[in-house]
């Protein structure tokens, strides 16, 4: 696969065209940002870790009947993906209340609830990714009701697959953000972007220690070491 021009540059990723019209190359950068780009740092090795972690998780979903954009790993920091039309929505699944949801609902971080909570956000930095509902999303022309039903169902299915998968690695999946796109070849709604410690809250089941981007957000140090531990444990599960 021949790497072509840079077609998108985000804070944490670059997307390159290829010589195939429906395939792109994702390059995971070592940059980390938080709080809507207010906080920024570079962690050598983070891009390679997230590339590999995301590859394991997206490949696991592909093999379990959830269509994602992931095709194959290409190198340390690059993966080959299906081209999509971006849908600027974030679907956030919560198994425990933490982060901004704890603040918004006025409950302590780590609050346990019996149900699964699914939130919808408008992916818009200028507005600080506000929580919206289905009617807002349709009114803005971001997705149809049918697509939104598909996204909610898919997000719950992803959660029901990844929660036990992480559990096998001794990691609790506290919450995660998922994004979707329309595949350029078939138009199907598929999971796009990454699923990694940058987009999930992952707590060590034995110690409660955070193994995700909160280490950076909250200045807890050992960011790369924690991501590396996540990768090591997921590899052990897949190699079983």
Query: Using CB under 6 A as the criterion, which residues of the chain lie in contact with ligand 5GP when the complex forms?
Result: 90, 92, 99-101, 129, 175-177, 198-201, 213
User: For ligand 5GP, which is the closer residue by CB, 79 or 199?
Assistant: 199
Q: How far is the CB of 92 from ligand 5GP (least distance, A)?
A: 5
Q: How far is the CB of 213 from ligand 5GP (least distance, A)?
A: 5
User: For ligand 5GP, which is the closer residue by CB, 21 or 222?
Assistant: 222
Q: How far is the CB of 199 from ligand 5GP (least distance, A)?
A: 4
Query: CA-CA distance, 229 to 211, in Å (whole number)?
Result: 8
HSE at residue 240, side-chain half, CA atoms within 13 A, is 9
User: For ligand 5GP, which is the closer residue by CB, 11 or 240?
Assistant: 11
Query: CA-CA distance, 203 to 121, in Å (whole number)?
Result: 23
Q: How far is the CB of 54 from ligand 5GP (least distance, A)?
A: 11
Query: CA-CA distance, 152 to 209, in Å (whole number)?
Result: 29
The 10 Å Cβ neighbour count of residue 119 is 18
Q: How do strand 189-192 and strand 171-183 relate by DSSP bridges? A: antiparallel
Alpha helix stretches (DSSP H) within the chain: 46-63, 99-105, 134-139, 145-168, 214-217, 223-238
User: For ligand 5GP, which is the closer residue by CB, 78 or 214?
Assistant: 214
User: For ligand 5GP, which is the closer residue by CB, 80 or 202?
Assistant: 202
Q: How far is the CB of 127 from ligand 5GP (least distance, A)?
A: 12
């Amino acid at each position: 696969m021949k790497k072509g021009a840079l077609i998108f540059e985000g804070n944490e990723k670059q997307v390159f065209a290829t010589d195939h019209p429906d395939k792109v190359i994702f390059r995971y950068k070592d940059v980390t940002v938080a709080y809507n780009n207010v906080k920024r740092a570079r962690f050598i090795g983070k891009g390679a870790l997230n590339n590999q972690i995301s590859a394991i998780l997206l490949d696991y979903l592909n093999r379990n009947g959830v269509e994602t954009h992931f095709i194959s790993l290409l190198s340390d920091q690059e993966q080959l993906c299906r081209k999509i039309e971006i849908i600027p929505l974030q679907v956030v699944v919560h198994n425990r209340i933490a982060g901004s949801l704890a603040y918004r609902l006025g409950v302590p971080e780590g609050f346990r609830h019996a149900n699964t909570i699914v939130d919808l956000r408008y992916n818009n930095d200028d507005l600080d990714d506000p929580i919206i509902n289905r009617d807002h999303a349709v009114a803005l022309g971001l997705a149809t009701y049918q697509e939104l039903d598909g996204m909610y169902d898919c997000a719950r299915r992803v959660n029901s697959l990844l929660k036990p998968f992480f559990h096998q690695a001794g990691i609790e999946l506290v919450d995660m953000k998922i994004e979707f796109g329309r595949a350029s070849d078939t138009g199907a709604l598929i999971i796009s972007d990454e699923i990694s410690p940058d987009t999930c809250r992952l707590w060590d089941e034995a110690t409660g220690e955070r193994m995700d981007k909160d280490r950076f957000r909250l200045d807890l140090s050992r960011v790369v070491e924690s991501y590396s531990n996540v990768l090591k444990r997921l590899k052990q599960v897949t190699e079983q």
